[in-house]
Structures are given as structure tokens and as C-alpha cells.
Chains A and B, each alone.
Chain A
Amino acid sequence: MAKDIAKMRNIGISAHIDSGKTTLTERILFFCNRIHAIHEVRGKDGVGATMDSMELEKERGITIASAATNVQWKNIDINIIDTPGHVDFTIEVERALRVLDGAILVLCSVAGVQSQSITVDRQLKRYNVPRVAFVNKCDRTGANPYRVADQLREKLNLNSVMMQVPIGLEEKHEGVVDLITMEALYFDGDENYAVRKAEIPSELQAEAEEKREIMLDALSMFDEELMELMMEEADIPVEVINRAVRKGTLDLELCPVFLGSAYKNKGVQPLLDAVENYLPCPTDIENKALDLDNDEAEVILEADNGKAPVALAFKLEDGQYGQLTYIRIYQGEVKKGSELYNIRSKKKFKVGRLVRMHSNNMEDITEAGAGDIVALFGIECASGDTFVQNGMNLSMTSMFVPEPVISLSIEPKDKKASDKMAKALNRFTKEDPTFRTYVDEESNQTIVQGMGELHLEVYIERMKREYGAEVTTGAPQVAYREAISSSVDFNYTHKKQTGGSGQYARVAGRMEPMEEGEYEFVSEIKGGVIPTEYIPSCDKGFQSALDKGSLIGHPIVGVKMTINDGQYHAVDSSDQAFQTAARAAFREAYMKAKPVILEPIMKVSVEGPSEFQGNIFGSINQRRGIIIGSTEEGAMCTVEAEVPLSEMFGYSTVLRSSTQGKAEFTMEFAKYSKVPTSISEELVKAFQEKNKNK
């Protein structure tokens, strides 16, 4: 039976690295009776936290890929998406964010709002995800949740309101005062698992009342009844307050703040109540799909089981029994045995096993309704694919996939590693459309391509750990392109008439640069000077020259070839002759058309304390970067710039050392643009050297 949508919550837990996000998730699983023992992230028992199933994660104590798990809290059904916290895996974070309806923003009570919290918060804002904040680690020395609440206001511009007051901080942290019910909550039962309600300690009474006033003032904007009751100075029922908090949170105009220490099992249960009371159910959120029949126009989906199903595959995992595909159902129901259609691969498939996941364990189910997050078994697909009822043409994500900009040669250490490597590559390319692989014909090397240095490093590492494939890697190569900068006419005759069957073909026309698109072929041949059957041969010949440009051997883009004249010989002309003529004509014209080298330019965003901004500006300037702008708010600054990818190798180390490790950066591909002449000359020289040595 499909579940009651109003009782469903799809939440994510987002945080800066090391804020205790995985620990919190672990406690949530525990309190919802899903696991029987608590394992620490860096535990001595060697089991590792339940959510961190990848070996690599256990070793590093960080969570890289997001896993989904389902828990019950009271009568609420919660799907938790564990999102990666590290800055270099923001693509994973964003993919996970798409399927969430609400989030818990975890902050460290000592470190407060850190740079990654800002990034995560920005992503939450971009996807309009309502959130509650949890100030963790209140038992640590230097804990100050009030300061964190202020930072939420100042740095993240959130309307943060404390919903609780701590009972003791640092080593004296015992529990919290609930400002809605005005009760003290202690977590001191058997290993702190039970919540003990008591009267507010007398020394906290005044503070609690003061903070309650502040809270109610902030809430009064969201509920008229609450405002009236406040003016009458009447008692305010708990439901009225909860209604106001929920409205403010869902409208993204309020961020309720909760406290505790996940590690010490304090404050987790009230946080779960907050998830139930204040975070949205799937029908509270508007989700949109793109109509592929209508230029990717937005279509609103309804979380209604009666409608045709639309689901997004947001995560693939290799399980013991084959490939597991996590899906979020946005509309309609998915039933075991029913048929779905994959928009990307344009293939129908049958839903075999349907399971609900609890981290590494699973439960078989027969159907799942709108709003739910479940997993499918043995489906041939890639991450980000949209599944719909046959006949629909909707996609949850844009079909645009950026071209990889960096490549690396990899070589297995031995025969055994070779098979494993192939298996791993097959898997990764399915998971991530921006990760590609091919075998270079010339060197017979396997090349992997991706969106950045770290992107590839992670896959190399995963290959080793998950598949036991040891590989050696070459130096990273930037995916340059070649293009022409002016138009030229060409006229080339290919003639070979020395013994045997001869070859003869002449092609003439124009080669022009093109702003958009990679290649275009136009035939203006009149009067059959080139017979119709040989015109495709010319096209083919030109195309065969595109693969490797004469400057540095990289692909040529943005060329329009027009043929308008030619000549043939009744006996000696052939398909082959015209192809050869076209290719040679292209090569000859290419060198006259002022060829240039294009390089990938990355959009780089660096965040760090203002006192280091000079160093940040300098580091970008030294890398041929163009600073687009900077934004300074409080003590933090964000610098946005465009920097050539080839200059970004090793940037993380440089940045870290010049800012005492306090700055972080993200980058994404922006565009291709012309390489400055001096560097272009060097590249050409290096290419010629390499060819000479062959």
C-alpha cells in the first residue's frame, strides 16, 4: 500500500566537513530503532558508521557519495539522504539536493558558520529547500550556540530563531529547555537514550522567558491568531506556535535553531520532532519537470498517486546482487511488474524488484507512491535519468551534459588489475555522465576524462579501493581545441597516375570560422562538376581531418566547409580519391586560415576570510585569471574569477598554504577561449618535439 503523503518527509543533512553530520545521522537511525548498535565514524570496532558504506569513506572519515535510508519516527516516515560535505564533491551534493524536500543544516557550536556551510546554504537556497538548523557539539570546549545563531543571521542572512536554550554548555551540557512547551529536557537515561522532562532549572527561568519572548515576536509575523493572542497576553497553545514555525519555515522566511550533541546523544529526539512538525511533506513542495517536446519548458508535477509516474534516478550503487538505482518518485505510483520508460536512453523497462533501503539492508515492497524514495534492482540506466510512463516526454534534469575538460592516461599495474579496471570504468561512466573513458589508438593507452583534477583523482582512488584495481597515472592533460580565425578559399587537386589504376579528384571551395557548432558542410556544386555520389566523400574527407588539428593534434571545432567547384575523371575518380583530396584540401586551407588554440576556462569561486583577500587576488592574477568580482560580507569574502584550467593544477595546495588553510574554492567549466600567443607557441613547439621523437 502506498503511504500517506502527509506523513512522509524527505530530508537531507547538510553541513561543513567534520560538523558531525554522519554521527547525527547515525543517532537518528538509532533512535528510530533501525540499527542496534552505534558505530562511530572513526570507531575502533572497525565497523564504521552505517551510512558510510564505501571503504574509502571509512578510511578518511568523510562521506563522499550520498546514500538514502528510510526510518520511522513516531508515525512519520522519513527518508534521509546523506549528502557529502566535502567541497570537492558538490556535484553529488547538488544531485542529492534535488530530491530533498527539507534539510537539517548541521553546525558546529564552536566553529559556527564555516565556509562550507555558506556553500551548502547557497545550494539549499538555490533549490528552495526549507531547513532547520542543529547546533551540534554543545559539549565541546568553547561551545556557544548563541553566537552560531547570530552568525546564521549575519553570514547566511537567515531569520534564525532559537527554539531551545541549552542547559549547561561544554562538559556541563545536560539538555535543553524547550521554549514552546517551557519544559526542561534531559537526556540522561540509560546511555542517554530516554528523554526526561522536568521543570526548568530556576537559574535558567529568566533566560528562557526572555528567549521565548524573542521567539514569539519573530513568529507572530507568520500567524495572525498568534499575534492576537500575544496582544491579549493570553496563553498560546502549542499547536498555534507550531503552525507559525511551520509556515515560516516552509516559506523559507524562518530558520528554527535546535541544539545538542549528537555524539553524547543529546537533543536528537526533539530535532526529529522538529522534522515532523516543521519540515515539508512532498505535497508542500512544487516540483518541476522539463517538457522536451516544448523546448524544455517547465511543467509542474503533482505528488498524486493517481497521475502518470515521473521519477528521477539520483544515485546508482553496486550492491551484492547487482546494480541498485535510487529513485525519487515525483508523481504517480511505481509498482513492481509495471513498465517505465527511460527518457535518456529511450528504452522501456520492467520494474523488477522494488526495495526500500536502510543504508546497507533492504526491504522488498510491491509499490511506492508519489513523494517516496525507493530503489530499483537491475535497471540499466545512468545517474540523473528520468523514468516516466511510456508516451510522456518529460525530463527532471536538463539533457545538457558538459564536455570533459581534463584527461589522464591510466595503466593497470598487472593483468588482474586490468579486468578490474575495466569493470570499474564501466560502472563509473554509468554513474557520472561527465566521467568518460576511451582507448587512445596511437598510444594504446586508456584515457579517462573528467571535469577537474580532483574529480579524476577520486575515481582513481575508488578504483583501487572498491575494485582492487591498482593503476598508474600519467600527468593530467587539458582538453585543448583548435579553431580557425579567418576565412580562406581552397582549391586542391589530388592526382596519382603512375601505373595501375589512377586516382584523380579536385575540390575547391571556402573554409570559414563558425561561432556556434562544431562542423558544418555545405555543397554549392552546380552542373555536376563533382558527381553527386562523390559529394558525401568530400564531407567525409573533411570530417576525417577534424579529429587532429595540425597545430597541436587536438580536435578542431567551429569550421564551416563549403564546396563550390571541382573536377573529376571518368576512370580515375573514386570515393577514396575525393576523400583524400578533401582531407588534403582541409589541411592546406587550415594552416592558411590562421588557426588558434582554444583552452577550457573555469569559473572559479574562492571563499575565505577578508584578511587574506590580497593573497587570493594575487593567486588568481598569477594564473592568468580574470577577476570578475568580489563580495564582502562581514569577515568573509568571495572572489569570482575566470581562470584557464591548465593554470589550476595544484591550486588547492597553493591556496591552502597562502591562507593558512582558511580559504576554499570551487570551480566549474565556463567556456573555451583563445590561448595567448606566447603560450600557444610553446604548445605548438612541444607538440612538434613530441612528433619528432616518434
Chain B
Amino acid sequence: MVKEELTKNSPLRILEKATHGGLGKGNIAVIASRRGIGKTACLVHIATDKLMRDKHVIHVSFSSRTDHILDWYEDIFREISQKRDLENAMEVHDELVKNRVIMNFNQDGVSMDQVLNSVKAMIENGQKGTDAIVVDGYDFTKNNDGNVIAKVKNFAKEMDLEIWFTDSYEGEVVQEGAIPSNLKCCEENLSVIMVLKNEGDVMNLNLVKDHGNEIKEDLSLILDSKTLLIARK
């Protein structure tokens, strides 16, 4: 299978369809779940899908070391390329690497302003034409006044790119279709919110906010418990 065909059939296209054409530049999306369910894998899968469509991605991490994240990318890429029998996998891989940068921050010592400045410096000097930023491990319970995310939203607009966050909520039972409480203060600036939940044996990916649209139907997407890839139900 060639790269184009592979991405055309990706389950992520379902997500795009459900969200009326995808997240779109200038917007922020959040994937929320409890700890240890597979948010990072989701995020890496989304980033890899973008890379495979020749887009440029910056991965911002607040939680792990660079080599740890690289391992995630390698694993996810291997899963996708082997399962779908990708042609010229090595060459595709090398191309992806060129379009991806990982930036690692310590949230305790670094303010969001500083992070955005660094990302801007990276885009201007190292990764021109970045299409998307994925942010992993950001703690939404800290600086919880909504202003920080408003700045991120402005940044997304100014730089003309999409931003994907993960959010970890702990000790809260999030009701069907509800937004986790730690995101409520900045909800106005989040265009798409998804909740990843363990329901019985499967991990369902549910859309709880879709730009301003009413959510009519189930996404029918799950997270495969073995490969940690987003898949059809």
C-alpha cells in the first residue's frame, strides 16, 4: 500500500468527518482521559497521520524525555506501516523524521509564554511551515484561570496552525457526553473535545464538543488495546 492510500483509509478520516472537516487551523482540540489509558498514543497517532500527509508537526512535551517520545513515534509508525503493508517504509520514515521536532519543557520552571516563544523560535528558525502542534502532559489544573489557554488560542491563530492537547483528569466520574471539570474554565477556547473512556472491555473515543455543533451520533472509534492505535469499532 502506498502512503496516500494508507492515510485515505485511516480511521482518523472518520474523526475529521464527524468534526465537520477536522479541527482546522487556529483551533485547539483536547483529548481527555484518566491517567494511563492511552492519550499519548492517540496524540502520536494523530501526529503521525499528519506527518504521513506531508505536514510538519511540533511535539511539545511536559512529561517525558525526548528519547521516550521518539520510542512512541517509532512504535506507532511500525504498527501502522506493518499492519497496512506500507511501501518504501524506510524512506517514508526518514521523510517523517525531517518534518517532526520534539520540544521538551518542565512545566514547573517554564511559563506558557516562554513555551510559546520557544515554539515560535523553532517555527521561524528551524521548522518553517509547521501545520500542527501536539502538546502532551500539560497539567490543566495548574494556572487554571483560562487565560493561559486564551494565549495559546491566539498563538494558534497568529501562527495559523492546529493545536492538540491531552488532558488528564483524576478522581472524577465524567458523565456521558460531559466535559471534564478541569477544562470548563477554558472551554470557550477549545473547539473540539474528546473523552477517551474505558467502557467494559473497550476504550471508546467520544466526541463531547464539536466546534459549536450539536453532537448527534457516536463516533464509533475505539483505541485498540493491543496496538494503542485509533481504530474503527
User: CA A613 – CA B119 in complex, angstroms?
Assistant: 10
B109, CB-defined interface residue at 8 Å: yes
- Bound-state CA distance A628–B106 (Å) is 18
- Which residues of the other chain, B, contact A633 by a CB distance below 8 angstroms? 105-106, 109-110
Once bound together, how far apart are the Cα atoms of A618 and B127, in whole Å?
9
CB <8 Å contact, B125 and A632: no
Inter-subunit contact A610/B114 (CB<8 Å):
yes
Residue A338, interface by CB 8 Å: no
B98 near A617 (CB under 8 angstroms)?
no
> CA of A634 to CA of B69 in the docked complex: distance in angstroms?
21
Within the complex, what minimum Cβ distance (angstroms) separates B90 from chain A?
9
Q: Which residues of B contact A618 (CB under 8 A)?
A: 125-126
Residue with the greatest number of chain B CB neighbours at <10 A, chosen from A627, A633, A673:
A627
Which residues of chain B come closer than 8 Å to A630, judged between CB atoms? 101-104, 118, 122
**Residues of A contacting B105 in the complex (Cβ-Cβ under 8 angstroms):** 631-633
* Minimal beta-carbon separation of A637 from chain B (angstroms): 7
The reply on B178 being an interface residue by CB < 8 A is: no
By a CB distance below 8 angstroms, the chain A residues around B98 are: 626
Chain A residues whose C-beta falls within 8 Å of the C-beta of B125 in the assembled complex: 614-615, 617-618, 621
A276 located at the interface, meaning its Cβ lies under 8 Å from any Cβ of chain B in the complex:
no
Asked whether, in the complex, the Cβ of A621 is within 8 Å of the Cβ of B126, the reply is yes
Q: Which residues of B contact A615 (CB under 8 A)?
A: 125
With contacts A632-B104, A632-B106, A633-B109 known, is A627 near B122, CB below 8 A?
A: yes
Q: Report B168-224 residues with CB < 8 Å from chain A CB.
A: none
**B residues within 8 A CB of A154?**
109
**B118, A613: Cβ atoms under 8 Å?**
yes
Indicate which residue in A614, A617, A629, A634 contacts B66 across the interface (CB closer than 8 Å): A629
Which B residues, 112 to 137, have Cβ-Cβ distances below 8 Å to chain A?
114-115, 118, 121-122, 124-127
Would you call B97 an interface residue if the criterion is a C-beta within 8 Å of the partner chain's C-beta atoms? yes
What's the minimum C-beta distance from A86 to chain B, rounded to whole angstroms? 26
Say yes or no: A617-B103 contact (C-beta < 8 A), given A629-B66, A631-B66.
Answer: no
Chain A: minimal CB distance from B95 (Å): 11
> A640–B66 contact, CB under 8 A?
yes
- Report A631-647 CB contacts with B as 1/0, cut-off 8 Å: 11110010010000000
Question: Are B118 and A610 in contact, with the CB atoms below 8 A?
Answer: yes
Contacting residues, chain A, for B101 (C-beta < 8 A)? 627-630
Q: How far is the CB of A688 from chain B (nearest CB, A)?
A: 29
Q: Which residues of A contact B2 (CB under 8 A)?
A: none
Nearest chain A CB to B233 CB, angstrom units: 35
Residue A334 lies at the interface, judged by CB distance under 8 Å to chain B = no
Does A628 lie within 8 Å of B126, measured CB to CB? no
Contacts of B103 in A (CB 8 A): 629-632
Q: Which residues of A contact B66 (CB under 8 A)?
A: 628-629, 631, 640
- Is A632 within 8 A of B118, CB to CB? yes
Question: What is the number of residues of chain B that contact chain A, defined by CB distance less than 8 Å?
Answer: 24
Contact of B102 among A613, A614, A629 (CB under 8 A): A629
Chain A residue nearest in CB terms to B127? A627
The closest CB in chain A to the CB of B97 belongs to A626
A163 touches B (CB below 8 Å):
no
Interface string of A321-335 (1 = CB under 8 A from B): 000000000000000
Query: What is the CA–CA distance of A628 and B97 in the complex, to the nearest angstrom?
Result: 8
Residues in B with CB closer than 8 Å to A621 are: 125-126
Counting CB contacts under 8 A, is A167 at the interface?
Answer: no
With A and B bound together, what is the CA distance between A626 and B102 in angstroms?
Answer: 11
Q: Which of A614, A631, A634, A640 contacts B121 (CB 8 A)?
A: A614
1/0 per position for B43-87, CB-CB distance to A under 8 A?
000000000000000000000011001100000000000000000
- How far, in angstroms, from A362 to B29 measured CA to CA in the complex? 70
**B69 CB contacts on chain A under 8 angstroms:** 629
- A614-B124, A621-B125, A629-B102 are known contacts. Are A634 and B109 too (CB-CB below 8 A)? yes
Residue of A nearest to B120 (CB): A614
Question: Nearest chain A CB to B40's CB is how many angstroms away?
Answer: 15
State how many angstroms separate the Cβ of A691 from the closest Cβ of chain B.
Answer: 32
For the complex, give the distance between the alpha carbons of A621 and B129 in Å: 14
Query: Which of chain A's residues have a CB closer than 8 A to the CB of B127?
Result: 627
Cα distance, A631 to B121, chains bound together (Å): 14
A620 contacts chain B at the CB level, 8 A cutoff? yes
Q: With the chains together, A673 CA to B94 CA distance in Å?
A: 10
Central interface residue in A610, A617, A618, by most chain B CB within 10 Å: A617
Known A154-B109, A610-B114; contact A631-B122, beta-carbon cutoff 8 A: no
CB of B54, distance to nearest CB on chain A (Å) = 16
Taking a contact as CB atoms closer than 8 A, the residue among A617, A628, A634, A673 that contacts B122 in the complex is A617
- How far is A629 from B104 in the complex, measured between Cα atoms in Å? 7
Residues in B neighbouring A627, C-beta threshold 8 A: 101, 122, 126-127
Check if B126 sits within 8 Å of A631, measured CB to CB.
no
CA distance A627 to B126 in the complex (A): 7
Instruction: With both chains docked as a complex, state the minimum distance between the C-beta of A126 and any C-beta of chain B, in angstroms.
Output: 13
Contact partners of B65 in chain A: CB under 8 A: 631
6 A-B interface contacts by CB (under 8 A) = A613-B121, A618-B126, A621-B125, A626-B97, A627-B122, A632-B118
Q: A629-B70, A629-B103, A631-B105 are in contact. List 6 more A-B contacts (CB 8 A).
A: A614-B124, A621-B126, A627-B101, A628-B101, A630-B122, A640-B66
In order of increasing CB-CB distance, the 7 nearest A-B pairs are A617-B126, A629-B102, A614-B121, A618-B125, A617-B125, A629-B66, A631-B104
